[in-house]
């Protein structure tokens, strides 16, 4: 079955671009990024942007990401795939990642959500990969069964490039 990714969610203020491989069946059915309830993407990104994205509706989630300088897209434009596993992706037609990257003048870093996105995306970027910070992220997919606590530190690296201030820590008393 041929599956097609969504348009990019970016604007002129995108500083960090998070790239997945290809939306899973649940996401495709509802036309929303990371729609599977067990996908950890929204929880992981909540830590990065300092807002509980899971508590927001979908449009507010996307708006919050954009307001924090985070964009989303996928490295695969179309492919054949049975089910939602990246291992089943065949006959890849890539998105024009290089053109998107060149159009984002504020872009400083790309986070690849999982090994498949990293492998395909790095090939697409070519020499452009040398001009940006590249962050290999453990997949947020429920098929990648490492717990969220083990994944979060890698995802938190994305905050390095974002223009946000963390609330001051409350001093503890001994």
60's CB contacts (< 8 A; 6+ apart) are none
- From CA 145, how far away is CA 23, in angstroms rounded? 18
With 90 as the cut, is the pLDDT of residue 69 above it? yes
Of the candidates 124, 137, 42, 144, the residue with the CA atom closest to the CA atom of residue 84:
144
pLDDT higher at 30 or 85: 30
Per residue in 4-34, pLDDT (tens digit) is: 999 999 999 999 999 999 999 999 999 999 9
- Residue 110 near residue 55 (C-beta atoms within 8 A): no
Largest CA distance in the chain: 61
Confidence band (pLDDT; 50, 70, 90) for 145?
confident
Question: Is the model more confident about 73 or about 171?
Answer: 73
Instruction: Give the 3-state secondary structure of residue 145.
Output: coil
Q: How many Å apart are CA 122 and CA 62, to the nearest integer? A: 25
**Which DSSP string do the residues of 31-80 spell out, in sequence order?**
T-TT-STT--HHHHHHHHHTS-GGGS-HHHHHHHHHHTTEEEEESEEEEE
Query: Which residues have CB under 8 Å from 149's CB, separation 6+?
Result: none
How many Å apart are CA 22 and CA 116, to the nearest integer?
9
pLDDT of 108-122, one tens digit each? Answer: 999 999 999 999 999
Residue 61 has pLDDT above 90, yes or no: yes
CB within 8 Å of 113: residues ≥ 6 apart: 18, 19, 20, 21, 41, 137, 139, 140
Write down the pLDDT at residue 163. Answer: 64
Write out the catalytic residue numbers: 39
């Amino acid at each position: 079955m041929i599956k097609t990714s969504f348009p990019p969610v970016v604007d002129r203020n995108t500083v960090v671009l998070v790239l997945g491989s290809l939306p899973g069946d649940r996401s495709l059915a509802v036309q929303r990024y990371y729609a599977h309830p067990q996908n950890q993407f929204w929880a992981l990104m909540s830590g990065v942007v300092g807002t509980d994205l899971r508590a927001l509706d979908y449009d507010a989630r996307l708006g919050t990401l954009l307001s924090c300088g985070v964009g989303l897209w996928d490295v695969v434009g179309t492919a054949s795939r049975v089910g939602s596993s990246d291992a089943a992706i065949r006959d890849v037609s890539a998105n024009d990642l290089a053109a998107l990257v060149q159009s984002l003048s504020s872009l400083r870093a790309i986070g690849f959500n999982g090994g498949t996105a990293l492998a395909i995306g790095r090939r697409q970027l070519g020499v452009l990969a040398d001009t940006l910070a590249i962050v290999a992220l453990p997949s947020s997919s429920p098929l990648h069964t490492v717990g969220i606590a083990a994944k979060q530190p890698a995802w938190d690296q994305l905050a390095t490039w974002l223009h946000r201030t963390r609330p001051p820590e409350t001093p503890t008393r001994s």
